[in-house]
Amino acid sequence: MIRPARFSDVPAMYALLAEGFERSRYRTMGAIDQKVAKGLLVQAIQRDGQPGEGGTLVRVADQDGVVEGMIIAVLQRVYHIGDKLQATDLFYIGSPRCHPADGRGLFDAMVAWADGNPRVVEILATVTDVLLDDWPRVGRLYERRGFVPCGGMWRRKTQALVNAAASNRFVDVGAEADKCPAH
């Protein structure tokens, strides 16, 4: 069941983010700042439903009382300076136990929310290799919902991270972490 997040969901939402972090390539680059993460979740829930800049949509996939997925979307100005808004996902994550229909339901909730706001002129949906080796699968979900690719993203580790890995301050997952699967 997809429903609005409640403040009482913050511990479960945080656990979902932490679980995702441990599955991500970021697990080797530091730790989660729990205070910041929980503060971001609370702030997003406070702004849920606001129709202007900074407004959010916060929905969870509730499976028998357990939060197994969530989406947090935010409204921002087009090109950060425009007078119209665009909606984009900040977090769109499901546990390995999240039912696929709930994953789709979370995304559809974001689209309906954005489509229902007359100030929103564009919806941006993102996916990277942060959590998923098969991120093109999520891209296909987006395309089935009428989205089209609009650019790309490239990344490079900073020299500080490379040096930290070399001195064993962080565990480097190696060259495989630098490869993004082709779509």
172 in any annotated domain: no
pLDDT at 173 over 60: no
Nearest alpha carbon to residue 94 among 66, 57, 65, 55: 66
163 in any annotated domain: no
95 in any annotated domain: yes
Query: Average pLDDT of the chain?
Result: 90
Q: What is the pLDDT of residue 9?
A: 98
156 in any annotated domain: no
Q: Which band of pLDDT confidence, cut at 50, 70 and 90, is reported for residue 161?
A: confident
159 in any annotated domain: no
179 in any annotated domain: no
pLDDT at 176 over 50: no
120 vs 83: CA distance, rounded Å: 10
13 in any annotated domain: yes
Q: How many domains does the chain have?
A: 1
Residue type, 107: F
Q: What is the pLDDT of residues 83-139, one digit of tens each?
A: 999 999 999 999 999 999 999 999 999 999 999 999 999 999 998 877 767 788 888
The three-state (H, E, C) secondary structure of the chain, written as one string? CEEECCHHHHHHHHHHHHHHHHHCHHHHCCCCCHHHHHHHHHHHHHCECCCCCCCEEEEEEEECCEEEEEEEEEEEEHHHCCCCEEEEEEEEEECCCCCHHHHHHHHHHHHHHHHCCCCEEEEECCCCCCCCCCHHHHHHHHHHCCCCCCCCCCCCCCHHHHHHHHCCCCCCCCHHHHCCCCC
Q: What is the pLDDT of residue 54?
A: 98
Domain that holds residue 46: 2-151
Q: What is the pLDDT of residue 175?
A: 46
CATH value at residue 145: 3.40.630.30
Alpha-carbon dihedral sign for residues 51, 37, 100, 126: positive
34-43, 128-137, 158-167: least confident range: 128-137
174 in any annotated domain: no
